[in-house]
Structure 1
């Protein structure tokens, strides 16, 4: 009980400090980077949970992870109350919402796989680049190759990086792209729905700061895109993304792979 009280007090302190700091914007000439309370709280949480500082026990961090899951359920429920009354508006943008899934394929496979190979990754690159590697994608890789396979290690590595840095990265990127004034805020909101609740919340929050008049629509379309990505994206990963990534790996690795090693048919390096 004391552990949970301590966690709630820490969160309360972070929220108060984050709101006190408020939104800070830095002009970079070509655009603006917006820093807002959720970013500060994420950074504070990362510092407090760092094992080196011994400010929190492993038990407390596991409790925090459980509470986070419950919090996101409440957040999604709130978004659901916005989705229902706005279904006609979502249906009007149906093709656009479906088409945004293409961007995830291009970003992870067409761009991510060659970069991973140039950096020296082997079959880990398949698991790391066939998707953004959230929970459903980890299950797909574990079923296909095994959790302890090179592909499984690659997927898990991206999952961990996405969990630690994903929300911060997308919040900064969304705020910067929004400040350029090139893309419509709703299109950016659709792009925020990458299939991760925390990343979507961070990106849509940054966009809401940049476009305060469109805040409700940004939350609405980001949530709809995130839902479509979670449901439709799972099938796309199974029947398209993963097979295509594996084929591209076999074709690209001999050509651009760094420090190439002979790889057996089963996927183990000799």
Structure 2
């Protein structure tokens, strides 16, 4: 909190991103929407590059300690969007709650691919969910963001913010143009637990259905908020234990030993090397 330089950089990023605003462009029948959060992330990455040398490692370490606080503010903002349309949301609550079970698919797809690409415990952080804000907080609390699980979840989080916003907005508008889904159902599907993805998708839907704009935004925000709430418990009690189990199985298939035995063998080899 005492890093004045960090606060100045954050204010600069916010002002620059808001000045750029929301940009959208057509891709066939679909629409890609780039929200200010996307530009803030890109500018933030540029500031950390070595040739620029604006943000130092200490600034990045200090910034990581504020993630939890910013997530609290974000969830409060979602609550203000949900209130006015609460009756419609209550009527659709079973679908909103059960949709989070779909995130378990990332475990079965992501863990085997990550392990066979050579990742170790980074795969648990990156593939136990779609790695959005609540999941970053969960991994940070359980494993720490400086460990391999933290690197995994932050890597997927950044990739999701950069590429996910473009992908989900395009996918949503293609579904709206070609498939018989109601705009509200697509808005609910957009609430995967990511503020940037939900905002991008909802903005694209609102541009296609301007008369439903308020309800589309409310359903998207409610879905996103519930994904962050019940999704946190699904990640904690289902996805993470499943990820740990599947990681051990995939690790043994690839390397022929369980990961804990590999760690012991590695320590033993290092001791023998040091003794020579």
Q: Per the shorter chain, which TM-score range?
A: 0.7 to 0.9
Superposition deviation, residue 143 in structure 1: 4.2
Inter-CA distance 76–34: structure 2 relative to 1 (3 Å threshold): farther
For 1:99, the equivalent position in structure 2 comes to 98
Q: Distance in 1 between matches of 2:173 and 2:155?
A: 26
Q: Distance in 2 between matches of 1:198 and 1:177?
A: 19
Q: Give CA-to-partner distance per residue, 1:171-192, whole Å, 9 cap, x none.
A: 2332333222243222221121
Q: Is the 8 A contact 2:206 2:216 kept in 1?
A: yes
Other structure's SS at 1:58 match: coil
Superposition deviation, residue 96 in structure 1: 0.8
2:225 is the alignment partner of 1:230: no
Q: Give CA-to-partner distance per residue, 1:167-221, whole Å, 9 cap, x none.
A: 2332233233322224322222112112222221112112222333322221111
Q: Distance in 2 between matches of 1:215 and 1:7?
A: 28
Q: Please, what is the CA RMSD of the aligned residues? A: 3.8
Inter-CA distance 99–267: structure 2 relative to 1 (3 Å threshold): farther
Superposition deviation, residue 230 in structure 1: 1.2
2:55 is the alignment partner of 1:46: no
For 1:25, the equivalent position in structure 2 comes to 26
Q: How many residues align?
A: 252
For 2:124, the equivalent position in structure 1 comes to 126
2:248 is the alignment partner of 1:247: no
Q: Is the 8 A contact 2:104 2:239 kept in 1?
A: yes
Other structure's SS at 1:265 match: helix
Q: Is the 8 A contact 1:171 1:202 kept in 2?
A: yes
Q: Distance in 2 between matches of 1:172 and 1:33?
A: 5
2:115 is the alignment partner of 1:117: yes
Superposition deviation, residue 13 in structure 1: 4.2
Q: Is the 8 A contact 1:49 1:56 kept in 2?
A: no
Q: Give CA-to-partner distance per residue, 1:223-267, whole Å, 9 cap, x none.
A: 111111111111111111100111122223334x4xx37454277
For 2:136, the equivalent position in structure 1 comes to 138
Q: Is the 8 A contact 1:123 1:267 kept in 2?
A: no
5+ long unaligned stretches in structure 2: 1-6, 267-276
Inter-CA distance 8–224: structure 2 relative to 1 (3 Å threshold): closer
Superposition deviation, residue 166 in structure 1: 3.0
Q: Which has the higher mean CA deviation after the structures are superposed, 97-106 or 127-136?
A: 127-136
Inter-CA distance 212–46: structure 2 relative to 1 (3 Å threshold): same
Taking structure 2 as the reference length, the TM-score comes to: 0.72
Superposition deviation, residue 142 in structure 1: 3.9
Inter-CA distance 232–141: structure 2 relative to 1 (3 Å threshold): same
